Chains A and B, each alone.
Chain A
Amino acid sequence: MVPLVRAERDFRFDQPWVRLGRVLKFWLGQWKQPRYRFAGTLHIFIFTGFLVLAIRAFSVLIVGVSENFVMPGLSGRAGLIYDVITDYAATIVFLCMAIAVIRRLVFKPTRYAVPARYGKDHTADAVFLLSLIAILMMADSLFAAARAAAQSQGGQSVGVLAAFSLPWILRNALVSLPLPALGRLYFGAYLVHEVTFYFLLCYRPFGIQFHVETSLFNIYFAKLDREILKPVRWGVSEEHLDQVKSFGVKTFEDFTWKHMLDFYSCADCGRCSDNCPANAVGRPLSPRFISIKARDYSFQHYPILGHATNGTALVGGKDTSSIYSEDEIWSCTTCGACEQECPLLVEYIDKIVDLRRGMVDDGNVPQSLQKPLKALESRGNPYGKMEKKKADWTAGKEFQQACPVRTLGENSGADTLYFVDSITSYDDRMQAIGRATAKILSHVGESFGILGAAERDSGHEVRRFGEETLFMALRDHNVDAIKASGVRRIVTADPHAYNALKHDYKDVPPVEHISQLIFREVKAGKIKFKPVENDNSTYTYHDPCYLGRHNQIYDDPRDVLDAIPGLKRVEMSRARDRSFCCGGGGLMLFYEPKEEQRMGVKRVQMAAEAGANVIVTACPFCMVNLEDAIKVAGLEGKMTAIDLAELVDQHIVRDGLVAAVC
């Protein structure tokens, strides 16, 4: 508890009804558990069993003091039913424990494995705990069975034991035993039960089962608006940030109390890392161990006996107490797969960003990232290209004739701003996405324009890489330019820009991703498609993290694809909220962590496995990574990647007469 008091502030006391609702859904309802069918079902049984038994455990405790104690409300018929339920509950929990132990010892799901670099295996610990719980169940049942056996021998009214439950089986086995032995057994079982119970209570905080106690609170206090990044410091306004001495998390105590609670609550189930693309390609990052290592640090540095030793650096190899490596913290693409999966709603992105903020504040930034960051500061884009070339993608003669793109000045009178962002403006390949987007906008009769030289990078990755001050400067510049242009709404084809404009910026007109606009116009009949050009192709849609998981736009792009006549579409095994990150956008393109394989390569292989030969995505960064990956995976000529906007542009029926044919 001590570190929680020393922790940074965090605002988690708002909207109690919403929070209670989430407790019902994620705690009582075990909402995320079935995402892993077998383990999740097992957990739901155990959880339910525990809830039932919690009351029984409490009453058994009191029976030790007063033998005839009966829980209020549980006398008579209700009590009888409750007894039956608990008998079954204990039985089910016991069986689940047995299955769990077998699973851990015999089947050993890889998700639980501990790579050597993260320390010792946790199996012994887990099996020990599972066995303790099994013993508890056994003792509990034995206690009930012995009492029932004694009662039946003594001719007293016999309490009902649920047929085929553990106590029932035990009673049938015990019924012939002499009375004194039963008495000793009764007492012994009681002792074992209590000793195990208290041992568990005391032991738990040091093991992986602390979540039994903390989960309720962790879910109640869990972040409500996950798409919004945590501020540098809760309770400090942006204007006062300059007075904050240190940014981000540098020592354990810089974490907020809720983030510490996350560490204590982690159940070590490994679902986060099982879905983490960085972990999957062998980068030195496993979200599970972000939590486990921090928890170990906390127990080590805040011992129950002895003095707390605190304030040591968490990241970097110099300090022996540092638990994270720099590469580990830079390896995260902020794709959000871990948070999507965690049954306990543990937060990771905020922690990673906070740790990065701490590193940036200390000047501890990989050399390969310093150049783009400096270029963003001086030129407003990570490539160091000149501002005046920002609109060069519109300059081609043919394109200009087909689709003139205005550069919006002050009070431009245009309705819509197309926010292009750096990569689409400057990257030769991605400029094609820009042109396709502009052509779609002009086809649907949108009065639109771009900011041109006045547009700076959205700063989306700048912020997620921990450079808050630079982000604020980029954002402020863009907000001013957007406001000055007088537009009423914003459209972008870049999910990263979309996410920034929607969640990181304030006071800007509403923003839409081009896939949403296309879907709307398809429904409205303004966009009509001709039949798919190459009907031998099988398409699959790759969800960009910042469109899908972070903004729940899963269906619009799919519906648009399905609206193209004759387009054959399949789903990859990992799709929608389990989509697999392409390798990350923005500054991630400038940072190469050590890895065994590229995320993009894994992703295109998934597409190949699904039987697709065209990957459609809706993000320029996905495009960079996927196109590269197709080459690296040796799938050139067999697989292509295309942006949704490009595909739509190719299939739009521009002549109203042809539309009738389709």
Chain B
Amino acid sequence: MARIFAYIVHKGGVVDDSAVELAAAARKIDAAASPTAILTGWGADLDAACNALSASYAEVWKLANEALAYPNAELVRKALVKVLPSGSIVLLPHQHFGMDLAPGLSIKMKSTFVSDVVDIAGVEGADLKVVRQEFGGQVSAHVRCDLSSGAVVTVRPGAFKSLEGAVVSGVGGVIDKSSDIGALTAGRRYLETVTAEAGDVDITRYNVLVSIGRGIQEKENVAIAQELADALGAAVSCSRPVVDAKWMEKSRQVGSSGKTVKPKVYLACGISGSFQHLAGIKGSPFLIAINKNPKAPIFQVADVGIVDDLLEFLPELSNRVREMRTVTAK
């Protein structure tokens, strides 16, 4: 079996959640594997991130270069190509950086590329068999990819749960590979990050979110969700279609192109459950899904599901909450 590397996304010295997920994915490919984490960056942030990985990775490769202080995919690719052994299996998270880096990396590594993997079915001969979702998650597919010249695999964030109690074996610790990189230039240069407007409500600060999707049907019905949120002391968040329809502000959007939230309870109301949306829900909240469509993908990931019309269910729920509150108050 080829050597497995996990590219670790980190920011401000903090390692992204995907680090443990990639380690879990690596072990699903090869239970005996001891994947190597590979990090690019510069300065104290990079060192902090490398050190934070010791719990999940036995060996960490550090690629420090001032030009890599901000992760520019083209520069990162050039650095990785210099240090990665050919035939390696490289795992990346399927998010905006992975999407930027992975396809080109596979070309330069002359290896196979498979993206947005949600599960690993196993290795069959020289092939890796993975599970992908297509058509907005309506169907899944088994996909075989040829491992004979290595592979670049992007993994859907949240699809692999960290393996508790997995033994980190092997020795190595942090190995500095910076000197192998050489000079780096790119046709694309990072300028700045423009932060989205904060908005009136910071949905990342709430323990309970009443989150609405396309099922809310129209702008006026947002009030129904707001009523429940008011009763619960929660905030209303939403999925992308709601923002696209201009029913709510962008600042309320949960998902890969919106905010990342870590509530305790997440009420998904009329949300189909696209992975872009789920990618914004972190910290494994208790997920309650209310949807008219019993086949909505959200029911696959929710803890509790209710098949009902949310436009009728939510107002009654609000009433019950208010009743309870008055009783408690007395």
Nearest 3 Cβ contacts at the A-B interface? A632-B220, A592-B219, A368-B245
CB distance from B267 to the nearest CB of A (A): 20
Binding site for B on A (CB under 8 A): 368, 592, 598, 628, 632
A–B Cβ pairs within 8 angstroms, 7 of them: A368-B245, A592-B218, A592-B219, A598-B220, A628-B218, A628-B220, A632-B220
Binding site for A on B (CB under 8 A): 218-220, 245
Which residues in B have their C-beta under 8 angstroms from that of A592? 218-219
Which residues in A have their C-beta under 8 angstroms from that of B218? 592, 628
How far is A368 from B220 in the complex, measured between Cα atoms in Å? Answer: 16
How far is A368 from B214 in the complex, measured between Cα atoms in Å? Answer: 13
How far is A598 from B223 in the complex, measured between Cα atoms in Å? Answer: 15
A368 closest partner in B (C-beta): B245
CB distance from A48 to the nearest CB of B (A): 50
B219 closest partner in A (C-beta): A592
How far is A592 from B222 in the complex, measured between Cα atoms in Å? Answer: 15
B217 closest partner in A (C-beta): A628
CB distance from A103 to the nearest CB of B (A): 39
A367 closest partner in B (C-beta): B244
B247 closest partner in A (C-beta): A592
Q: How many A-B residue pairs have CB under 8 A?
A: 7
CB distance from A319 to the nearest CB of B (A): 25
CB distance from A641 to the nearest CB of B (A): 16
Which residues in B have their C-beta under 8 angstroms from that of A632? 220
Which residues in A have their C-beta under 8 angstroms from that of B220? 598, 628, 632
Which residues in B have their C-beta under 8 angstroms from that of A368? 245
How far is A466 from B66 in the complex, measured between Cα atoms in Å? Answer: 58
Which residues in A have their C-beta under 8 angstroms from that of B245? 368
CB distance from B55 to the nearest CB of A (A): 47
How far is A397 from B297 in the complex, measured between Cα atoms in Å? Answer: 29
How far is A592 from B218 in the complex, measured between Cα atoms in Å? Answer: 9
Majority secondary structure of chain A interface residues (helix, strand, loop or mixed): helix
Determine which residue in B219, B220, B245 has the highest number of CB atoms from chain A within 10 A of its CB, and name it.
B220
CB distance from B201 to the nearest CB of A (A): 23
How far is A368 from B245 in the complex, measured between Cα atoms in Å? Answer: 8
Which residues in A have their C-beta under 8 angstroms from that of B219? 592
B311 closest partner in A (C-beta): A631
A598 closest partner in B (C-beta): B220
Which residues in B have their C-beta under 8 angstroms from that of A628? 218, 220
CB distance from B131 to the nearest CB of A (A): 27
Which residues in B have their C-beta under 8 angstroms from that of A598? 220
How far is A632 from B221 in the complex, measured between Cα atoms in Å? Answer: 8
A636 closest partner in B (C-beta): B315
CB distance from A566 to the nearest CB of B (A): 31
How far is A426 from B245 in the complex, measured between Cα atoms in Å? Answer: 22
How far is A368 from B219 in the complex, measured between Cα atoms in Å? Answer: 13
CB distance from A629 to the nearest CB of B (A): 9
How far is A632 from B245 in the complex, measured between Cα atoms in Å? Answer: 19
How far is A21 from B209 in the complex, measured between Cα atoms in Å? Answer: 67
CB distance from A339 to the nearest CB of B (A): 29
CB distance from A368 to the nearest CB of B (A): 7
How far is A592 from B245 in the complex, measured between Cα atoms in Å? Answer: 10
CB distance from A441 to the nearest CB of B (A): 30
How far is A628 from B218 in the complex, measured between Cα atoms in Å? Answer: 10
How far is A598 from B219 in the complex, measured between Cα atoms in Å? Answer: 12
How far is A368 from B218 in the complex, measured between Cα atoms in Å? Answer: 12
How far is A632 from B219 in the complex, measured between Cα atoms in Å? Answer: 11
CB distance from B300 to the nearest CB of A (A): 23
A632 closest partner in B (C-beta): B220
CB distance from A3 to the nearest CB of B (A): 38
CB distance from B230 to the nearest CB of A (A): 16
How far is A368 from B217 in the complex, measured between Cα atoms in Å? Answer: 13
CB distance from B50 to the nearest CB of A (A): 46
How far is A331 from B218 in the complex, measured between Cα atoms in Å? Answer: 17
How far is A565 from B245 in the complex, measured between Cα atoms in Å? Answer: 47
How far is A9 from B202 in the complex, measured between Cα atoms in Å? Answer: 59
How far is A598 from B220 in the complex, measured between Cα atoms in Å? Answer: 10
How far is A598 from B218 in the complex, measured between Cα atoms in Å? Answer: 12
CB distance from B319 to the nearest CB of A (A): 12
How far is A471 from B219 in the complex, measured between Cα atoms in Å? Answer: 29
How far is A598 from B221 in the complex, measured between Cα atoms in Å? Answer: 13
CB distance from A626 to the nearest CB of B (A): 14
B224 closest partner in A (C-beta): A631
How far is A628 from B217 in the complex, measured between Cα atoms in Å? Answer: 11
How far is A398 from B245 in the complex, measured between Cα atoms in Å? Answer: 39
Determine which residue in A368, A592, A598 has the highest number of CB atoms from chain B within 10 A of its CB, and name it.
A592
CB distance from B218 to the nearest CB of A (A): 7
CB distance from B8 to the nearest CB of A (A): 39
How far is A632 from B222 in the complex, measured between Cα atoms in Å? Answer: 11
CB distance from B146 to the nearest CB of A (A): 37
How far is A368 from B242 in the complex, measured between Cα atoms in Å? Answer: 12
CB distance from A92 to the nearest CB of B (A): 52
CB distance from B250 to the nearest CB of A (A): 16
CB distance from A177 to the nearest CB of B (A): 73
How far is A2 from B152 in the complex, measured between Cα atoms in Å? Answer: 70
A592 closest partner in B (C-beta): B219
CB distance from A317 to the nearest CB of B (A): 18
CB distance from A183 to the nearest CB of B (A): 75
CB distance from A251 to the nearest CB of B (A): 31
CB distance from A277 to the nearest CB of B (A): 17
B309 closest partner in A (C-beta): A428
How far is A628 from B220 in the complex, measured between Cα atoms in Å? Answer: 9
CB distance from A30 to the nearest CB of B (A): 43
